[in-house]
């Protein structure tokens, strides 16, 4: 229940200074709309580093000045209730921006924790703010990021917080294979699954075990599954 989360040492995760102009993700990333001039105005360099599963990127309530873009991997955003209950409210993956709220001068709203080995770029929110005022493309892209986060959040409510445990697990699996666009997907620890779906770890475990027995999913490696998409969808019609 209580996870030992270690705040990463900057030093050990350090991966160097990024050259955004050469970035392989250049076209899908927030900085897609920047030109040569703009980059020179990112006074502080963009840093690149790696998180291991379980590593904490930042904690809820922390003040900070950095935003992040995910190059690869997977990050969970966790929120806590006063009574200690926790809930995962979103998953972020390649090309997603982490920490948008910093743009508005807020503190971080969630715990951001890596679920897989994750490569990130860090850059100062202040620079994004300034650039966005003059660069219409960046301005537009920012709004699009926010809207995407909002759409994800809404889907989280309707798909992953509604219906029976079986349905929620099925929807989670279908969601994951859709992102991968193949019928394979990699899953999480059962505790994380529970925190995503609003069910207990035991129920998550039982449901997955049940799906395995029924052949709805086939485990090819630890927490790596092939999904029987049509039959999972059939589960949702009833």
Name the residues that contact DNA, by CB under 7 A. 3-4, 164-166, 189-191, 198-203, 205-206, 208-209, 212, 222-223
Alpha-carbon distance of 188 to 182, in angstroms, equals 18
> Strand pairing of 47-51 and 118-124?
antiparallel
Question: Of DNA, a copy of itself, none, which one does residue 165 interact with (CB within 5 to 8 Å by kind)?
Answer: DNA
Return d(Cα 136, Cα 197) in angstroms, integer. Answer: 38
- Is 103 one of the binding residues for a copy of itself (CB under 8 A)? yes
Contacts of 121 (CB under 8 A, 6+ apart): 18, 20, 46, 47, 48, 68, 69, 71
How many residues appear in the chain? Answer: 238
Q: Looking at residue 21, what DSSP letter applies? A: G
Report what 4 binds from a copy of itself, DNA, none; CB cut-off 5-8 Å by kind.
DNA
Letters for 166-205 (x = contact with a copy of itself by CB under 8 A, - = none) are: --------------------------------x-------
Give dist(CA 47, CA 45) in Å, integer.
6
Task: Yes or no: say if 107 and 64 are a contact pair by the CB < 8 Å rule.
Answer: yes
- Nearer to DNA (CB atom), residue 108 or residue 225: 225
Q: How far is the CB of 230 from a copy of itself (least distance, A)?
A: 14
- 107 contributes a contact to a copy of itself by CB under 8 A: no
DSSP H or E run through 48: strand 47-51
Q: Which is nearer to DNA, 132 or 207 (CB)?
A: 207
The footprint of a copy of itself on residues 55-84 (CB under 8 A) is 77, 79-83
Question: At closest approach, how far in Å is the CB of 204 from DNA?
Answer: 7
Please name the helix (run of DSSP H) or strand (run of DSSP E) that holds residue 70, with its range, or none: strand 66-72
33 counts as binding a copy of itself under rule CB under 8 A: no
Other Cβ atoms closer than 10 A to 81: 8
Taking contact as CB under 8 A, which single stretch among the options 6-14, 138-146, 177-185, 213-221 is the one that binds a copy of itself? 138-146
Query: Among a copy of itself, DNA, none, what binds residue 85 when CB lies within 5 to 8 Å by partner kind?
Result: a copy of itself
């Amino acid at each position: 229940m209580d996870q030992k989360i270690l705040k990463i040492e900057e030093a050990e995760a350090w991966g160097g200074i990024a050259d955004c102009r050469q970035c392989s993700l250049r076209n899908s990333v927030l900085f897609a709309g920047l030109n040569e001039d703009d980059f020179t105005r990112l006074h502080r360099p963009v840093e690149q580093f790696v998180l291991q599963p379980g590593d904490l990127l930042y904690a809820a309530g922390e003040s900070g000045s950095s935003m992040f873009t995910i190059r690869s991997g997977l990050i969970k955003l966790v929120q806590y209730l006063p009574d200690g209950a926790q809930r995962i409210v979103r998953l972020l993956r390649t090309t997603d921006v982490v920490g948008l709220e910093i743009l508005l001068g807020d503190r971080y709203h969630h715990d951001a924790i890596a679920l897989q080995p994750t490569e990130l770029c860090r850059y100062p929110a202040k620079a994004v703010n300034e650039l966005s005022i003059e660069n219409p493309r960046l301005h537009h892209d920012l709004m699009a990021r926010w809207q995407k986060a909002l759409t994800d959040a809404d889907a989280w409510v309707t798909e992953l917080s509604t219906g029976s445990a079986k349905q929620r697990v099925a929807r989670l699996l279908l969601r994951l294979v859709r992102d991968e666009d193949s019928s394979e997907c990699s899953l999480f620890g059962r505790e994380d699954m529970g925190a995503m779906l609003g069910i207990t770890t035991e129920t998550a475990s039982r449901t997955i075990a049940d799906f395995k027995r029924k052949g709805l999913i086939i485990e090819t490696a630890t927490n790596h599954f092939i999904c029987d998409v049509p039959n999972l969808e059939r589960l949702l019609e009833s």
